[in-house]
Structure 1
Amino acid sequence: MSSRSLEAITDPHATSRLCVHTRDAQEQASSFGLLHQSYEQLSTGAFSGSLFAISANDITVFRESLDQSVFQTGVSDTQHITIAAACELSERAYWNGRHIDQDSVVAFTPGREFELRTPMRSVCVGISLAPSVLQSLSPERPPEYWQKLFTHHDCWSETGRLKFDLQSRIMHLLQQVGAAGDPADGAADLLDLRELAIDYLGSVVERGQTGGQKLRIDSYPRIARRARAAMLERLGEPLSVTDLCNELGCSRRSLQYAFESIYDLGPVAYLRTLRLAAARRQLTSGMPGTTVQEVAAAVGFSHLPRFAQEYARMFGERPSESLAAHRPARAA
């Protein structure tokens, strides 16, 4: 496991490589510093993820693999626009109010919040660029134009040759650098990729195409977002579906449909994943004096054996094992 994080490269002559393999969803999220994000594991079983990336100057290319369904929330880096496309999706995903498939491309707009749910198995490749490089597409437009454009046009369907070429070149470069071991060997290829990415984005702008399937009810993302906030505020308290409906002023059916559309889970199951994720953060924090019983009570589990059973089912290890693996070493 690794806690390294990919950050922006400021030296124009520097090239860096990052390769991480993780067994924890939140550690996976923190590896990619260009997206300030958080991952919540939704499916049950031991988590496995990897990230391989190479950066130089104002460009980063990456490949991410996830072997569990996760819900990703965060804010894109203000100095970069990131586009990502799936090489593999075991089922459709959710992106900012839309259901998307393997033909979809998404754009993480600088400084904008995002929501993404990936299925049990997903592999994607992407590229991050400084927005200023897009000026060559239309020099007369101000820099703010591109941010506004991709804010309202952050998903499109793509089966064309340019997308295939871009994905193939990214995969080839990452494999080449991974085998060679010297990131500097890929510096020239990165510059070529930047030009290819600019041409690709220019073609997207010309077509003005949108993609993904909008949710049947526009209010579902808002309902789910408000319900999630209420759950996070009351993780340690009893909270029923009726309580949520009364607080949000919505019907049980609307709440159920909203959660199934966005998280692929009902509200009760999703609340359980939030509580278990909060427990995992506490158990792996390395704080002295932490006990399994105290953590279980803090996240709303009054029955310790039930908590241990649910935790092991969710993360593939017992809570005591998570605690022991991150217990601070005793002083001699």
Structure 2
Amino acid sequence: MPNASKPNKPGRAAVPPRHLDLKLQDASEHSLHQSWLPTEFCQLSRGDYVGSFQELDTGRQRVVRESQSQLVHKQGLMSHGHCTISFHRQTAPLARFCEYQIPANGLMFYLPAGSEFDVQVPAGFEIMYVRFDQQQLLEAQQAFGTPNLTANPDRIGVFKSPGQKRLDAFLNALFDVIPAALARKYAPDADQISQIVTDSVLLALDQADPLPIEHSIDFRARHRARHMVRHSREFLEDSLKRGHCPSMVEICKHLGISQRSLQYGFRDLMGMTPVAYLRTLRLNRVRADLRQPDSNLTVTEAATRWSFFHLSKFAQDYRQMFGETPSETLALANR
């Protein structure tokens, strides 16, 4: 591990970091445990969901390692005053961070405060990220003498760094060493851990090269497709609030694009057709409603709220997607 940049203050009692280690049974549970990062998780592939969420909270940063057994789509907004440095620990054809595909040799991403993010995570993937106070990280980097973030602190940054593997190994080791130490009643100091984490991230960024690929044809196509998907979702949700499930013709007319462009955009970005994606989104919304405890909601009410009127077909599709019937979901929520 790198050395901490500052010693402990004399006479100050050591405060250990907080550690969270959870096994999850639904994609939405990830967002429930990250109130500091407003995120919506949507399960896209079929089958039982098994997720893992681990977090180390030093008081100054939150280090997160998470994984899931199904393909998921994550969307949200980075909280005010904070930023993250993140990377995927594997690669696969559908792995994507906003407009950026994840290559085999990996990338690091800087997500500044107030930025929208749109991430597609394949089954079996692990993501590692560290949330910082943005101003503190930028000040530390200026002191470190690394210009990568301070050149464009309000824009998403994408970096390729030979130091990523070392950073990955270090952060991964933290999730082994700290819980074991806490179990032995040994309290590693949170401030010391915080300083070491900051130094490790800055060392990786110091070796990094920014990737100026925003002007490539593939990037521009994914950028257009990302906005197309977002506006399609928004139109669908606004229409459903009025009790109407829009057709593909209505979505194309609203977006001012052809059906072929809509098909290509969804396939390029999401790996599925717009009909399949929007239906999957609606199934996820039904599931979210059914998982609310003590809501007095029936399966029929939840299904029709999201424009599923062929109830036997809905129940079949729901079970294929989530590995349980809607009634089982509702019963578990009210147990």
2:258 is aligned with what amino acid?
S
Aligned to 2:315: 308
Q: CA deviation at 1:13?
A: 4.1
Aligned to 2:277: 270
Q: Is the 8 A contact 1:134 1:198 kept in 2?
A: no
SS in 1 for 2:73: strand
For residues 222 and 173 of structure 2, the distance between their equivalents in structure 1, rounded to whole angstroms, comes to 41
Shift of the 89–179 alpha-carbon distance from structure 1 to 2, 3 Å rule, reads farther
Aligned to 2:76: 74
Aligned to 1:225: 230
Aligned to 2:166: 165
Q: TM-score, normalised by structure 1?
A: 0.85
Higher relative CO (CA 8 A, sep ≥ 6), structure 1 or 2?
2
Range that drifts further, 53-62 or 248-257: 53-62
Q: Is the 8 A contact 1:278 1:299 kept in 2?
A: yes
Q: Is the 8 A contact 2:149 2:157 kept in 1?
A: no
Shift of the 192–217 alpha-carbon distance from structure 1 to 2, 3 Å rule, reads closer
Q: TM-score, normalised by structure 2?
A: 0.84
SS in 1 for 2:152: helix
Which of the residues 108, 115, 123 maps onto 2:118? 115
Shift of the 295–140 alpha-carbon distance from structure 1 to 2, 3 Å rule, reads closer
Q: CA deviation at 1:172?
A: 0.7
Aligned to 1:129: 132
Which of the residues 31, 39, 55 maps onto 1:37? 39
Shift of the 73–52 alpha-carbon distance from structure 1 to 2, 3 Å rule, reads same
**Superposition RMSD in Å:** 2.6
Question: Structure 1 regions of 5+ residues with no counterpart?
Answer: 1-10
Matched, 1:178 2:179: yes
**Once the two structures are aligned, what percentage of the paired residues are identical?**
26
Q: Is the 8 A contact 1:89 1:123 kept in 2?
A: no
Q: Is the 8 A contact 2:299 2:327 kept in 1?
A: yes
Aligned to 2:97: 95
Aligned to 1:5: none
Q: CA deviation at 1:321?
A: 0.2
Aligned to 1:7: none
Shift of the 47–97 alpha-carbon distance from structure 1 to 2, 3 Å rule, reads same
Aligned to 1:195: 199
Aligned to 1:298: 305
Q: Is the 8 A contact 1:173 1:186 kept in 2?
A: no
Provide, for residues 208-265 of structure 1, a one-character-per-residue CA deviation record: whole Å limited to 9, x for no partner.
3346962536422222211111112234523221121111110111101111122222
Aligned to 1:244: 251
For residues 59 and 251 of structure 1, the distance between their equivalents in structure 2, rounded to whole angstroms, comes to 45
Aligned to 1:3: none
Runs of 4+ in 1 over 6 A off after TM superposition: none
1:170 is aligned with what amino acid?
L
Which of the residues 282, 288, 293 maps onto 1:281? 288
Shift of the 76–157 alpha-carbon distance from structure 1 to 2, 3 Å rule, reads same
1:209 is aligned with what amino acid?
L
SS in 2 for 1:167: helix
Which of the residues 65, 85, 108 maps onto 2:87? 85
- Provide the aligned length of Structure 1 versus Structure 2: 311
For residues 202 and 121 of structure 2, the distance between their equivalents in structure 1, rounded to whole angstroms, comes to 27
